[in-house]
Structure 1
């Protein structure tokens, strides 16, 4: 499936929140809304219907606050496309994650290191 990756706008806010919620990620409505307003949220949708949100990446400067793809659309390169788009406009990206996300970030070139309490941090110098 071909996807279109673009900067989210205010009309995408509910869809972004739904994608994050569907991935069981802790979601702070105000923070996500503020990041959308700051044009720091990237979304991916099918080429034939780019208004439909299949994945989202919420950024706060270099920090990846959250990245998620709808469950039935995973393992199709959507998350990778979101991160690649984010990396184009930044000198570095930083992501804190659980152990299950480490292979994803490592596959994209992040240098991932352990943190206390079973968490990890990955850094990508672009």
Structure 2
């Protein structure tokens, strides 16, 4: 049986130590909004409106990023399953059409997630 340490199914990023920059924006935006109260001048009102728009944009980016990450994790799990299948002793019984039918949906999901992530840039 081939060496199974050639790939890893676990992420090397510790979510406790890496927080998305988008997530860190929320308290900053809230502080900016607080600074504009009371909105007694046109400038304060405009800054307040822009801060609310930034917060909505932050929420959209966070949601799209979370969805993209979920998709990428599902694809990773699927590819891990394919790798385990290919590492098995019964490799002769796996035909190319079968492998293609397993990989094609994963490829579509990966392409879709990558396109969504690129659309955020």
TM over 0.5: same fold? Answer: no
TM-score (norm 2): 0.20
TM-score (norm 1): 0.19
Q: More strand by proportion, 1 or 2?
A: 1
* Structure possessing the higher radius of gyration over alpha carbons: 2
